[in-house]
Structure 1
Amino acid sequence: MCFVIVTSRSLLWSLLSIAVTLGHLIALAQPYWLIGKPRNKYDGDHINPDVSEERWSPSIGIFSSCRQLTRVSQESLGLPDSILCTTYTRSFGDIANGYWKASVVFYAFGFLILSFVFCVAFISLCKRSICHKSIFTVSGFLQAVAGLFIIIALCIYPIGWGSDAVQDVCGEDAAPFQVGDCGVGWAYFTAMGSTVLLFVCSVLSVQADISTSQDEIQDEINKGKSLICLCW
């Protein structure tokens, strides 16, 4: 018989685990890891104070970038806007530089683990153990391991700021750990914030395990209840 056990701490862990996974997914998919200074459309120059419209900011992520189309390209593609945000890579080998490739590898390992925990977060509502171990503590350990992989990825990423692809967006002054004319974009901060929350989830998993192992839970099961909700 399946018992659905929900406590405030286990529910918080499940929801936060799902949010963290989605946060990393959003960060990876966005081209806003580095954002350049505003420029005037079509001429590629930095912003002209005499021109108050037709401005844009180039940006680049690990897999994608926002670039300006020429008027000819814009007309041929039938696009209403001259700024196109799309992937610049067709394969792993097209990633901007070797450091970013290494970053992707570590990030991929971490994200695969998170994807597994994402599924476990749903299973935890009606199953408390996996391989005779608490499903929460196993998941918390995996979240900590995933966090370490992602931290390594985020630390390696700035070393690749001196590549040609970054200099096209951030200027020739861009170098390892120096963004040149760019600023660090919100996608990178999203990845950092999601990683911090990932370790919060890892700690919270212990509390989730404690809350679902109380004597009150067993008492409710003995009474024949299949849906058990506790507010602690």
Structure 2
Amino acid sequence: MQVHTSEVARLYQTEFIRSARAVGVLWAVCTLCFAVIEVVILIQPSWVGTRQLHYRPGTPPPPAGTLGLFEVCLETGWPVPECRGSLRTLTPLPAFQSPAVLVCISLTMVWASVGCLCLFRFCNSATVYKICAWLQLTAGFCLALACVLFPDSWESAEMRALCGESVSSFSPGNCTVHWAYVLAMLGILDAAILATLAFVLGNRQDALLPDDAKDVTGLLLSP
């Protein structure tokens, strides 16, 4: 009976390890995808854009275009829009310097977590998961703060030139929120999910360690 119980426990642990590895691979792939999404969020000039408005015949139509952290693009040179800004030098628009810096910090944290994936061959898996979880939490917090500060900075010359004089903080005037800003808000949720999953995987890896290994790890981590 005791032998049968030990065999069941060993089989359960083997299946548990396989499942944890599969979930870990999925988490790593999603982390890499999130890092690519962060690059798109940073460089795309599609955080806000103009909407279709009815205007009187004989009057010049309002400008049409989009705006991001680094560029303002007007649909005057179709099919290639005319963009003003400094994306090549990564110089944000004056009104959006704080959101741009926060998104850059978030991007750095995410890519640092991607770089930490190489540590699985050299360090304890539980420690690597927890390091990545804290990096992803920091990335999500910075991205959330950027999403709050961005509409608070709408009272700027760039926004007024594109969206009209009715622009104010948290009121885009003749513009609407575009897909890059929505993607940034979804990135906050993605960072929270990835960080939570990393904490869970890290705690499960701790549970798989034998007692003597836990004692050694505790001695190494104790001050």
TM-score, normalised to structure 1, is 0.70
Q: 1:85 to 1:198 in 2, by over 3 A?
A: farther
Distance 1:7 1:94 in 2: 41
Instruction: Give, in whole Å, the separation in 2 of the partners of 1:187 and 1:32.
Output: 5
Cα separation, 1, equivalents of 2:106 and 2:92: 21
Residue in structure 1 matching 2:70, options 49, 52, 63: 63
Cross-structure match for 1:95: 93
| 1:206 maps onto 2:194 in alignment | no
What are the within-5 Å matches in structure 2 for residues 73-112 of structure 1? 81=78, 83-84=80-81, 86=83, 88-89=85-86, 95-97=93-95, 100-112=96-108
- Report 1:175-190 matches (<5 A): 175-190=168-183
1:24 to 28, 31, 38: 38
Deviation at 1:68, TM superposition (A): 3.4
Structure 1 gap ranges (5+): 47-55, 75-80, 219-232
Match of 2:52 in 1: 38
Quote the residue 2:6 is aligned against: none
Cα distance, 1:85 vs structure 2 = 5.1
SS in 2 for 1:45: coil
Residues of 2 paired with 1:141 and 1:187: CA distance?
25
CA RMSD of superposed structures (Å): 2.9
| Contact 1:18 1:118 survives alignment (8 Å) | yes
- Secondary structure at the aligned position of 2:73 is classed as strand
Structure 1 runs (4+) deviating above 6 angstroms are none
Q: In structure 2, how many angstroms separate the alpha carbons of the residues matched to 1:15 and 1:193?
A: 17
Which residue is 1:169 aligned to?
162
Q: Residue type matched to 1:155 in 2?
A: V
Cα 1:92–1:44 change in 2 (3 A) is farther
C-alpha separation in 2, matches of 1:93 and 1:9: 39
Q: How much has 1:140 moved relative to structure 2? A: 0.2
Instruction: Give yes or no for contact 2:106–2:143 (8 Å, CA) kept in 1.
Output: yes
In structure 2, stretches of 5+ residues that fail to align are 1-17, 211-223
TM-superposed CA distance for 1:214, in Å, is 6.3
Residue of structure 2 in register with 1:51 after alignment: none
Supply the AA of the counterpart residue of 2:86.
T
More strand by share: 1
CA distance in 2 between counterparts of 1:13 and 1:93 reads 33
Structure-1 residue corresponding to 2:3? none
Whichever residue aligns with residue 154 of structure 1, its letter is C
Range with greater deviation from structure 2 (14-23 or 81-90): 81-90
Higher helix proportion (structure 1 or 2) = 2
SS in 2 for 1:59: strand
Deviation at 1:86, TM superposition (A): 3.7
